[in-house]
Amino acid sequence: MCCYACVIHDYIRSRRPLARALALAGTAAIACGIHDLFLVRIGIGALASYPLMPHSVFFFVLILAGIVVDRYSKSILAVQELNASLAERIAEREKQLTEVFAVLHRQREEQALFLERQRIMRELHDGIGSQLVGMLNLVEQKIIDPAQLSEHLQIALDEMRIAVDSLQPIENDLTVVLANLRYRLQPRLVAAGLGVVWDVPNIPALPRLPPQAILHLQRIVLEAFTNILKHARATRVAVTAHCGGVPYGVRIDIADDGVGLPKSADSNPEQHFGHGIANMHARATAIGAALRVFRSGSGGTCVSLEWPIPPGET
């Protein structure tokens, strides 16, 4: 009766079709119950009566089933609307993230381009610029020495070609880097009567070989050859390179048969060659390599570059 009263109250207040159906079903069930009680069970009346409660309960159950189906349908519709709303919000978020990633990617590209420009400007200033300044000083001092001018011009050309080579796509191939450098230096070596023994096998591709690392490596080798041409009075230079082993990954040795380091330079080669060796050490440190300059077994000088490479990167 309490439930029936609640249904009647809800119908009176809301006038909803569902409340009206429940009120009618409840009224019919109570009426059938009273009928069965007095006419069937107690037996009031002369005529036999059939029970009506099972019929009313059947229709009442149908109404309840309809209510359940209606609630379920509304729940499914609400879930679908929620899914649609979530999908729309996710699509909006994905669009926003895509735009953010695009902006970040563009900023990284701009930053990389800026850093590359700065690097090229620095290398041009330190390389070609210093040689041009040297030639300008010779001209201003009226020291017109064709040999010195030719040397400055040749070094400036080598610096420019090396800077250009460092930007070429080489697919992380260190062998190609060294071969290009040999090609650039070959005219100077031939003019100086310097024989070259080139023992550089195919080195596996190095994943971490950006243009800056290539340029540092080229400058180290170039400085080694420049020192040989200027100071060693050598007739032969051997270049060897190999990959693998402990504690280094790639090792490059440049050894000549010249006069070698003086005894005073054994402990500090920088004092003998000035800033050249110091720059080589700085460039080696910049790429995570170690550089040693020492007297070779033949009496000349050997420049050894040991470049560690983590396992799995060769």
Per-residue pLDDT band for 237 (boundaries 50, 70, 90) equals very high
Report the distance separating Cα 37 and Cα 51, nearest Å: 9
* Residue with tokens 């080694």, as numbered in its chain: 224
Is 45 exposed, middle or buried (CB count within 10 Å of its CB: 0-12, 13-18, 19+)?
exposed
The pLDDT > 70 percentage for the chain reads 62
Report the distance separating Cα 267 and Cα 264, nearest Å: 7
Instruction: Of 66-70, 231-235, 250-254, 308-312, give the range with the top mean pLDDT.
Output: 250-254
Per-residue pLDDT band for 314 (boundaries 50, 70, 90) equals very low
Report the distance separating Cα 248 and Cα 113, nearest Å: 32
Q: 0.85 cut: is pTM over it?
A: no
- Which two three-digit tokens encode residue 154? 């040749």
Q: How does 3-33 read in b/e, with b if 16+ C-beta sit within 10 Å?
A: eeeebeebbeeeeeebbebbbebbebbeebe
Intra-chain end-to-end CA distance of the chain, in Å: 86
Q: What CA–CA distances, in Å, run from 117 to 108, 113, 114, 155?
A: 14, 6, 5, 22
What one-letter code names the amino acid at 298?
S
- What's the pLDDT score for residue 203? 77
Render pLDDT for 25-41 as a digit per residue (tens, 0 to 9): 667 777 777 766 666 66
